[in-house]
Amino acid sequence: MNRVYAQGWAFWIGIALALLLMLMPLPAMIQPLKPYWPALVLIYWSLESTDRVSIGLAFCVGLAADLLNGALLGDQALRLAVMVFIALRFRSRLRFFPMWQQSLAVFLLLLNNHVLQTLIRAFAGDPAMPALSWLAPAVGAAIWPFVFLMLDDVNTRLRGKGARAS
Protein backbone atom coordinates (compact mmCIF):
# COMPACT_ATOMS: atom_id res chain seq x y z
CA MET A 1 0.00 0.00 0.00
CA ASN A 2 2.75 2.36 1.08
CA ARG A 3 4.69 1.65 -2.03
CA VAL A 4 1.76 2.52 -4.23
CA TYR A 5 1.37 5.82 -2.39
CA ALA A 6 5.07 6.61 -2.68
CA GLN A 7 5.01 5.85 -6.37
CA GLY A 8 1.92 8.00 -6.79
CA TRP A 9 3.70 10.91 -5.14
CA ALA A 10 6.76 10.40 -7.29
CA PHE A 11 4.57 10.35 -10.37
CA TRP A 12 2.71 13.56 -9.59
CA ILE A 13 5.81 15.40 -8.44
CA GLY A 14 7.51 14.34 -11.67
CA ILE A 15 4.61 15.70 -13.72
CA ALA A 16 4.59 18.97 -11.76
CA LEU A 17 8.35 19.39 -12.23
CA ALA A 18 8.01 18.69 -15.94
CA LEU A 19 5.33 21.39 -16.25
CA LEU A 20 7.52 23.86 -14.35
CA LEU A 21 10.49 23.03 -16.57
CA MET A 22 8.28 23.60 -19.57
CA LEU A 23 7.47 27.13 -18.34
CA MET A 24 11.03 27.94 -17.32
CA PRO A 25 12.80 30.25 -19.74
CA LEU A 26 16.22 29.45 -21.20
CA PRO A 27 18.73 31.79 -22.79
CA ALA A 28 17.34 32.95 -26.12
CA MET A 29 20.00 31.13 -28.16
CA ILE A 30 19.02 27.63 -27.00
CA GLN A 31 15.37 28.39 -26.36
CA PRO A 32 14.04 26.47 -29.41
CA LEU A 33 16.09 23.41 -28.43
CA LYS A 34 14.23 22.93 -25.16
CA PRO A 35 13.05 19.32 -24.86
CA TYR A 36 9.38 18.63 -24.27
CA TRP A 37 9.59 17.61 -20.60
CA PRO A 38 5.99 16.48 -19.92
CA ALA A 39 6.27 14.04 -22.82
CA LEU A 40 9.49 12.51 -21.49
CA VAL A 41 8.02 11.97 -18.01
CA LEU A 42 4.80 10.51 -19.43
CA ILE A 43 6.75 8.14 -21.69
CA TYR A 44 8.80 6.94 -18.74
CA TRP A 45 5.74 6.18 -16.65
CA SER A 46 3.85 4.53 -19.48
CA LEU A 47 6.81 2.19 -19.95
CA GLU A 48 7.28 1.69 -16.23
CA SER A 49 3.83 0.67 -15.07
CA THR A 50 0.70 -0.35 -16.92
CA ASP A 51 -1.94 1.13 -14.67
CA ARG A 52 -0.42 4.51 -13.85
CA VAL A 53 -0.72 6.26 -17.20
CA SER A 54 -3.72 6.09 -19.49
CA ILE A 55 -4.70 8.09 -22.53
CA GLY A 56 -7.21 9.97 -20.40
CA LEU A 57 -4.55 10.96 -17.90
CA ALA A 58 -2.23 12.14 -20.67
CA PHE A 59 -5.15 14.16 -22.02
CA CYS A 60 -5.69 15.83 -18.62
CA VAL A 61 -1.98 16.59 -18.17
CA GLY A 62 -2.01 18.10 -21.66
CA LEU A 63 -5.00 20.26 -20.75
CA ALA A 64 -3.20 21.50 -17.64
CA ALA A 65 -0.12 22.26 -19.76
CA ASP A 66 -2.26 24.16 -22.26
CA LEU A 67 -3.86 26.16 -19.48
CA LEU A 68 -0.43 27.09 -18.12
CA ASN A 69 1.14 27.72 -21.47
CA GLY A 70 -1.57 29.97 -22.80
CA ALA A 71 -1.49 28.22 -26.17
CA LEU A 72 -4.53 26.76 -27.91
CA LEU A 73 -6.61 24.75 -25.40
CA GLY A 74 -6.51 21.09 -26.44
CA ASP A 75 -3.32 21.28 -28.45
CA GLN A 76 -0.98 19.56 -26.02
CA ALA A 77 -3.84 17.37 -24.77
CA LEU A 78 -4.16 15.90 -28.25
CA ARG A 79 -0.43 15.49 -28.75
CA LEU A 80 0.19 13.85 -25.38
CA ALA A 81 -2.78 11.51 -25.85
CA VAL A 82 -1.37 10.35 -29.19
CA MET A 83 2.09 9.96 -27.73
CA VAL A 84 0.93 7.91 -24.73
CA PHE A 85 -1.26 5.80 -26.99
CA ILE A 86 1.72 4.85 -29.14
CA ALA A 87 3.98 4.33 -26.13
CA LEU A 88 1.43 2.05 -24.45
CA ARG A 89 0.80 0.14 -27.64
CA PHE A 90 4.48 -0.73 -28.08
CA ARG A 91 5.21 -0.81 -24.40
CA SER A 92 6.14 -4.47 -24.12
CA ARG A 93 8.74 -4.11 -26.86
CA LEU A 94 10.07 -0.71 -25.88
CA ARG A 95 10.74 -1.79 -22.32
CA PHE A 96 13.24 -4.43 -23.34
CA PHE A 97 15.05 -2.40 -25.93
CA PRO A 98 18.64 -1.47 -25.14
CA MET A 99 19.03 2.14 -24.15
CA TRP A 100 20.12 3.48 -27.54
CA GLN A 101 17.19 1.86 -29.28
CA GLN A 102 14.88 3.27 -26.65
CA SER A 103 16.37 6.71 -27.29
CA LEU A 104 15.71 6.26 -30.98
CA ALA A 105 12.09 5.33 -30.25
CA VAL A 106 11.76 8.41 -28.03
CA PHE A 107 13.21 10.48 -30.86
CA LEU A 108 10.56 9.16 -33.23
CA LEU A 109 7.81 9.80 -30.68
CA LEU A 110 8.99 13.37 -30.15
CA LEU A 111 9.40 13.94 -33.87
CA ASN A 112 5.85 12.72 -34.45
CA ASN A 113 4.76 15.08 -31.71
CA HIS A 114 6.58 17.96 -33.39
CA VAL A 115 4.97 17.23 -36.74
CA LEU A 116 1.55 17.20 -35.05
CA GLN A 117 2.33 20.49 -33.36
CA THR A 118 3.34 22.06 -36.66
CA LEU A 119 0.11 20.82 -38.27
CA ILE A 120 -2.06 22.10 -35.43
CA ARG A 121 -0.36 25.49 -35.52
CA ALA A 122 -0.85 25.65 -39.28
CA PHE A 123 -4.56 24.87 -38.89
CA ALA A 124 -4.96 27.45 -36.15
CA GLY A 125 -3.25 30.04 -38.31
CA ASP A 126 -0.37 30.58 -35.89
CA PRO A 127 3.01 31.54 -37.31
CA ALA A 128 5.44 28.70 -37.97
CA MET A 129 7.96 27.78 -35.31
CA PRO A 130 11.65 28.63 -35.73
CA ALA A 131 13.57 26.15 -37.90
CA LEU A 132 15.91 25.35 -35.03
CA SER A 133 13.02 23.83 -33.07
CA TRP A 134 13.16 20.77 -35.32
CA LEU A 135 16.27 19.83 -33.39
CA ALA A 136 14.33 19.71 -30.11
CA PRO A 137 13.27 16.04 -30.58
CA ALA A 138 16.94 15.10 -31.03
CA VAL A 139 17.82 16.93 -27.82
CA GLY A 140 14.96 15.13 -26.09
CA ALA A 141 16.26 11.78 -27.31
CA ALA A 142 19.80 12.68 -26.25
CA ILE A 143 18.78 13.37 -22.66
CA TRP A 144 16.32 10.46 -22.52
CA PRO A 145 18.89 8.03 -20.99
CA PHE A 146 19.53 10.47 -18.15
CA VAL A 147 15.85 11.11 -17.55
CA PHE A 148 15.18 7.40 -17.62
CA LEU A 149 18.00 6.51 -15.24
CA MET A 150 17.10 9.30 -12.83
CA LEU A 151 13.40 8.49 -12.68
CA ASP A 152 14.22 4.79 -12.49
CA ASP A 153 16.58 5.40 -9.60
CA VAL A 154 13.99 7.41 -7.67
CA ASN A 155 11.43 4.75 -8.43
CA THR A 156 13.64 1.87 -7.24
CA ARG A 157 14.51 3.66 -4.02
CA LEU A 158 10.87 4.41 -3.28
CA ARG A 159 9.93 0.84 -3.97
CA GLY A 160 12.68 -0.45 -1.71
CA LYS A 161 11.67 1.91 1.08
CA GLY A 162 8.00 1.14 0.62
CA ALA A 163 8.67 -2.59 0.71
CA ARG A 164 10.65 -2.25 3.91
CA ALA A 165 8.03 -0.08 5.55
CA SER A 166 5.14 -2.36 4.72
Partner 1 sequence: MALPQKESSPIFSDATAGTLRLIAYLALAAILMVLDHRNGWLHRARYFTAAAIVPIYKIAAAPADWVHDASTAFAQRSALIDENRQLRETLMLAEARLNRMGAVAHQNERLKQLLDTQHLLGMHAQLARLIDVQLGPTRDRVMLNVGADESVRVGQVVIDSHGVMGQIIETLPHASVAMLVVDPDHAIPVMLARNGLRGIAHGTGDPDQLVVPNLPLSSDIKPGDQWVTSGLGGRFPAGFPVGTITELRHGSSGMFLEALVKPAAELQRSGEVLLLRDQPDPVGPPAPAPEVGPPSSLAPTTAAQKPVRAQPAAPPATPPGDAP
Q: Are 82 and 112 in contact (CB under 8 A)?
A: yes
Q: Are 140 and 3 in contact (CB under 8 A)?
A: no
Stretch that binds partner 1, among 6-14, 64-72, 99-107, 139-147 (CB under 8 A): 64-72
x/- contact string, 94-133, with partner 1 (CB under 8 A)? -x---------------------x--x---x--x-xx--x
The amino acid at residue 112 is N
Q: Is residue 66 part of the contact set for partner 1 (CB under 8 A)?
A: yes
Q: Is residue 41 part of the contact set for partner 1 (CB under 8 A)?
A: no
Q: Please tell me the count of residues contacting partner 1 according to CB under 8 A.
A: 47
CA distance 147 to 59: 22
Phi-psi region of 65 (alpha: psi -120 to 50; beta: other; left: phi over 0): alpha
Stretch that binds partner 1, among 6-14, 27-35, 105-113, 143-151 (CB under 8 A): 27-35
